[in-house]
Chain A
Amino acid sequence: MFSNPLIYFVVIPVIMLLGIYLCRNMAQIRAVAVTGSLALLALSVWLLVDYLGLRAAGADAPMLYRGDWTWFSALNIQLSVGVDGISIAMLLLSSIILLTGSFASWKINPLPKEFFLWLILLSIGVFGFFISIDLFTMFMFYEVALIPMYLLIGIWGTGRKEYSAMKLTLMLMGGSAFLMLSIIGIYYNGVPEGVERTFNLLQIAQYDAIPHDWQCFLFPMAFVGFGVLGAMFPFHTWSPDGHACAPTAVSMLHAGVLMKLGGYGCFRVAIYLMPYAANELAWIFLILTGISVVYGAFSACVQTDLKYINAYSSVSHCGLVLFAILMLNTTAMTGAIMQMLSHGLMTALFFALIGMIYGRTHTRDIREMGGLMKIMPFLAVCYMIAGFASLGLPGLSGFVAEMTIFVGSFENTNTLNRVFTIIACCSIVITAVYILRVVGKLLLGPVYDKHHEELTDATWWERTSTVTLILCVAAIGCFPNFFANLIRTTFSPEIFKVLGM
């Protein structure tokens, strides 16, 4: 079992948990958190390199590094692991954000030890989700990722934290109820007569035995279940409140990684396993996600709380992810994954910066701030870069992702898809409006509050955190083909049946 490298994505956080449990002071906690996340980052980079090597050497299985270990034989539940390019990209994203999140919560107060314990428990869920290919195990890790969120927001949050934490948890739990239902449905219908039932994604996809009516019933369940986490309209309202109240590192992880679980699940479970229903019912969700793209952007235009602006922009961007997934063609789906990466990085950057600004000014209301460029140039420049990434400036990650999505979506000859593509395109203008509004009000212009003039610029750990994220954003923006090729292999008609329809 321990010869499989993937298992260490769960083992390392468990060791981190143990280490943090034994820690006595803040310095030790930081050391454990940073070392552990660096180890995870190193592991994911190594995995990426090794994976590319294997692929270059001609490995053509849909998933590599496969491993299965039964843990409940009565229902044939296994801990099955395996990754493809997309999972590796997601693992890389998660470890980067965990690392930067650790830096961002350098001075977390109170109860630092408990905070990191829950944070790392959450990351176990995330990593476990991305490596598993057994539906049940996947679901289990998904729940592991959700629950710590409640405590992290409820205890370390700000503002109406109890309300937000409760709302977030209940809505996501509601989503996972649908999900559970669909997973059970898939389990009972996923194999032909006389074959042992299985939760294994690859086997179910291979059998392709889910009857048509069942697909039409289960697909919406699964899609809505994951869509809630992916902030799909109209199930997105946990996102603004939740993000606004969460502490910095949690916002980063949540918007950066956890919301990606939604998009990832949508294609990996809903579309991958139920191609016929996906083909038939995609239009319903296309309309919803299309609305979410524009709606989130418009809502962000009038918010005054920095975190609310960013939360609504996440609704818009994550809407674009689901939107592109539903286009059901290689290009758009590749774009969706790139958008997931891009949005994960830049929204983490945003939330980190907002946390840093809030830590200094003690307000997040843009009406009460102004001219921060003069006071804290480093943070302001980083914020501007994040803003540019968000509004899709070429050379940063947002542009390549959005363009791939738009070109891919337009490839679809269906009139409805075309119309919604054009509507979604409009979001690039609205995004520019709200980003520049914030930048203009918050960073530029005269200093609003004279007390702010004494504030200091970023400390070294804050610089580390932001620079890492900016470098990643720029890397995707400058060398998109590398990432696109990593992702594209998965979306071939041989693997995704729906693409051939």
Chain B
Amino acid sequence: MEIKLLYYLVPSLVMFCCGLYGFLTRKNMIAMLISLELMLNAVDINFTVVNRYLFPGSQEGMIFTLFAIAIAAAETALAIAIIINLYRVTKKVDIDEAKQLKG
């Protein structure tokens, strides 16, 4: 059986929807961040797969994913710094605690 494009897209869609579900239901900020990573990864997979299947001659999707990973890393680092800082103030990591932008 040959592996078609769709076969990759379906798991990534499931992954995305799981991420979305997690993001919406969790109150723990770290858990939300984890869900966010899921969604990002699902998108990354889509980029590469589509690039590989439909446009094998060019590498934009791949490079885009590369950048996305870099940016995701930066973003996560910053987000975790904020979360820890917030935790210091409120002793909680719930998103409800972070409604105001001042400490």
**Chains A and B touch (C-beta atoms under 8 A apart):** no
